[in-house]
Amino acid sequence: MKFAHLIWCNLRRKKLRTSLTLLSIIVAFLLFGLLSAIQEALVGGVALAGADRLIVREKVSIINLLPVSYEARIDRIPGVDFSTHQTWFGGIYQDPKNFFMQNPVEPEKFLKMHPEIILPADEEKAWLATRTGAIVGRRTAERFGWKIGDKVPIRSTIWTLPDGSQTWTFDIVGIYDGKDKGTDTTPMFFRYDYFDEARQQWGKGKVGWYTIRIKDPSQAAEVARRVDAEFENSPAETKTEPEGAFIQGWASQLGNIVFIVAAILSAVFFTILLVTGNTMAQAVRERTGELGVLKAIGFTNVQVVVLVLAESCLLTVLGGVMGLGLARAITPAVAHQLAGLLPLFFLPARALFIGLGLSLALGLVTGVFPALQAMRLRVADALRRM
Amino acid sequence: MNETKSNNGPLVQVERVGKVFHRGSEDIHVLTDLNLRVPAGEFLALMGPSGSGKTTLLNLIGGLDRPTNGAVIVAGEHLDPLSDHALAAWRARHIGFVFQLYNLMPVLTAERNVELPLLLTHLSRAERRKHVETALAVVGLSHRAKHYPRTLSGGEQQRVGIARGIVTDPTLLLCDEPTGDLDRKAGDEILNLLQSLNREHGKTIIMVTHDPHASVRAARTLHLDKGQLSNGEVK
């Protein structure tokens, strides 16, 4: 710590150069934070997906519906605990940019299937007692200011009511929270019996996909095979896969997200490496004489190396902390703007730790060559350059 | 690091030392078979024309460079066998340097510059501060402790350099053209200070200079020419 003042003063030597380098590092780590949040939003659900849940969808495309009669047959398959279904409603609340998911479900089985959804018992009871009742996640409720008792009109782009209208009205009977930070609390769920009875003929008796709870997660692949075998050669063949893979599949439609994010960040950090490396190399070159003086008065080669590395790491860690801090600060505001597109937008703690580690590694890498240069300086030669 | 070996011999012994610099295919013999003895408490001036090897000799005595042949012994310590790491530690303990161009860190205040050698010791912050205050008081710059080098005159900067050189109470003070960059008045102040350190504090000082006006302040003057000493020890 007694060298801290010397290190800090050397860093402030050329304020403009240091400031610009620091700014570039801050921007790099801000980008790192935001991209990490995007990646988490798109594929983070994979980690939270239930290991004991499988998704059954129509083999050709999820757009194609499955008969509701499949439920009983699925429940009889060995290894299946129970199953339930959901259907894509595709509704719009006031404006298309207000998008959030709304799906008809079987309330009791749905809540049993998804223990990560926390709904107070009295609200569950109200839902079961109200055919037009709907529960909505806390994020969407707060976004639109909905309260229990509100009637909300949702215009479906797919489903039509008998009177020809596409605007469905639901009664908000419950607001649910997520058990984990990563649980999506943007969707709205309403009763399938109301939906199926009210919708026009097209699609009646059909559902979008099934979710299965299996008895033994280690048997997931075998149970999936059995389910698909059950409906092989039927008019609606199925594709059954673990929930995590299903979520991954959605994200993959945008491309290999992980690869894209890694590629962008690699390019950014490589650039920062060059910028910071140049800054440190210049800093050491300009101080050849001073380093010679330090060695003359007794600083060892190791101490000189440590001084240079410490300066480099201080610069990069400072930039990293500020960039990540800024990302963390603005993420809620960005999340609010992207609520419809990326409901689970947040900066995971894991990304913060990785970012800090990267900032330290950046400092070490950019500082090592100038440090070695400083170490190799011959004192007598260096003093001549003063 | 070895402790100072007490002996009744000279503080500095240079025995049959030669130094050759290799510049491409050319060998430059800067010092040749040079002998020198400096007793403790002496103020010695080394004079000579440019390129005579004065700074080279000073660097060898101060452990900043190694002789091509011969031995340098300071305070009973043979310098040549010491590793670079050990030599650095030895310098920190035994040698104070005063440079022609002061060589202060521009980003540090006067007191922080003086403190630099003390960072290599185990002294506490309070103890370091006390040593710095003492050193600045000796050179008469207590009132300028918080000033940066750029706000100090040349003479004041050199006094800070001297304070830095003596703050660890080194065995030997090596001055390379300490008045070379100063006007006559400022130079005289520096020479007065060096004489005071020698006479009142018993500091052993070896000063390289090309200025006869400076050399008369020393107790003894030796001339270095073409790598050999005259008016000094006989080889």
Shared-domain flag, residues A266 and A371: yes
Taking only the tens place, the pLDDT of each residue in A192-235 is 999 999 888 778 899 999 999 999 988 999 999 999 999 998 98
Rg (alpha carbons) of chain B, rounded to whole number: 17
Q: What is the mean pLDDT of residues B163-183?
A: 93
> If you search the block for the tokens 């030895």, which residue do you land on?
B90
| pLDDT computed for residue A251 by the predictor | 65
Assess contact for B25 and B187: CB atoms under 8 A. Answer: no
* Cβ separation B62–A293 shorter than 8 A: no
What is the nearest CA distance from A185 to chain B, expressed in angstroms? 54
* Cβ separation A299–B125 shorter than 8 A: no
Q: Residues of B near A (CB-CB distance < 8 A)?
A: 56, 59, 62, 64-65, 84-85, 88-93, 95, 97, 99, 101, 103, 105-108, 112, 116-117, 119-120, 125, 164
Q: What is the pTM of this model?
A: 0.76
Which chain A residues have a beta carbon less than 8 Å from that of B91?
A: 296-298
Shared-domain flag, residues A305 and A159: no
Higher pLDDT, A61 or A150: A150
Whether the CA torsion A296, A302, A303, A309 is positive or negative: it is positive
Residue A337 has pLDDT above 60, yes or no: yes
Shared-domain flag, residues A122 and A228: yes
Q: For residue A288, what are its two tokens? A: 């050849």
| pLDDT computed for residue A254 by the predictor | 63
Q: Which residue of B has its CA nearest to A15?
A: B107
Residue A122 has pLDDT above 80, yes or no: yes
DSSP-based three-state secondary structure for A153: strand
Shared-domain flag, residues A15 and A85: no
Shared-domain flag, residues A21 and A126: no
- Among residues A198, A227, A252, the one where a domain terminates is A252
Shared-domain flag, residues A233 and A335: no
Taking only the tens place, the pLDDT of each residue in A37-85 is 888 877 666 665 667 899 999 999 888 999 999 999 999 999 999 999 9
A8–B contact, CB cutoff 8 A: no
Assess contact for B204 and B10: CB atoms under 8 A. Answer: no
DSSP-based three-state secondary structure for B92: helix
Range scoring the smallest mean pLDDT among A209-218, A328-337, B28-37, B119-128: A328-337
A290–B contact, CB cutoff 8 A: yes
Residue B181 has pLDDT above 80, yes or no: yes
Q: Say how many domains are in chain A.
A: 2
| pLDDT computed for residue A384 by the predictor | 73
Shared-domain flag, residues A160 and A244: yes
Residue B7 has pLDDT above 70, yes or no: no
| pLDDT computed for residue A346 by the predictor | 81
- Among residues A218, A252, A286, the one where a domain terminates is A252
* Cβ separation B107–A13 shorter than 8 A: yes
Which chain B residues have a beta carbon less than 8 Å from that of A386?
A: 99, 101, 103
The percent of residues in chain B predicted with pLDDT above 90, rounded, is: 76
Q: Which helix (DSSP H) or strand (DSSP E) does residue B138 occupy?
A: helix B125-138
Q: What angle do CA B99, B100, B106 make, to 5 degrees?
A: 70
CA separation for the pair A23, B159 (Å, rounded):
39
CA separation for the pair A377, A381 (Å, rounded):
7
Taking only the tens place, the pLDDT of each residue in B195-210 is 999 999 899 999 999 8
The percent of residues in chain B predicted with pLDDT above 70, rounded, is: 94
Shared-domain flag, residues A10 and A156: no
Residue A36 has pLDDT above 50, yes or no: yes
Residue A308 has pLDDT above 70, yes or no: yes
* Cβ separation A297–B99 shorter than 8 A: no
User: Any alpha helices (H) in chain A, and if so which ranges?
Assistant: 4-11, 15-48, 70-75, 107-113, 121-129, 138-144, 192-198, 220-230, 243-252, 257-286, 288-296, 301-337, 349-376, 379-384
- Among residues A184, A217, A252, the one where a domain terminates is A252
DSSP-based three-state secondary structure for A167: strand
Assess contact for B55 and B176: CB atoms under 8 A. Answer: yes
Q: Is the ipTM of this complex over 0.85?
A: yes
Enclosing domain of residue A25? 4-44+256-384
Shared-domain flag, residues A334 and A234: no
Q: Considering only the beta carbons, identify the residue of A3, A9, A13 that sits closest to B119.
A: A3
CA separation for the pair A267, A32 (Å, rounded):
11
* Cβ separation B103–A380 shorter than 8 A: no
Residue B140 has pLDDT above 80, yes or no: yes
> If you search the block for the tokens 């059950």, which residue do you land on?
A230
Shared-domain flag, residues A117 and A55: yes
CB pairs under 8 A between A and B: 73
Strands A117-118, A188-191: pairing is unpaired
What is the nearest CA distance from A307 to chain B, expressed in angstroms? 13
Shared-domain flag, residues A211 and A104: yes
Residue B189 has pLDDT above 50, yes or no: yes
The percent of residues in chain A predicted with pLDDT above 90, rounded, is: 63
The full set of domains in chain B, from first to last, is 12-230 (3.40.50.300)
A302–B contact, CB cutoff 8 A: yes
Q: For residue A274, what are its two tokens? A: 């060059």
Q: Which residue of B has its CA nearest to A7?
A: B107
What is the nearest CA distance from B113 to chain A, expressed in angstroms? 10
Shared-domain flag, residues A235 and A306: no
Assess contact for B39 and B10: CB atoms under 8 A. Answer: yes
A2–B contact, CB cutoff 8 A: yes
Q: Considering only the beta carbons, identify the residue of A2, A298, A302 that sits closest to B92.
A: A298
Higher pLDDT, A246 or B221: B221
pLDDT band of residue A250 (cuts 50, 70, 90) is: low
CA separation for the pair B17, B58 (Å, rounded):
12
CA separation for the pair B188, B198 (Å, rounded):
15
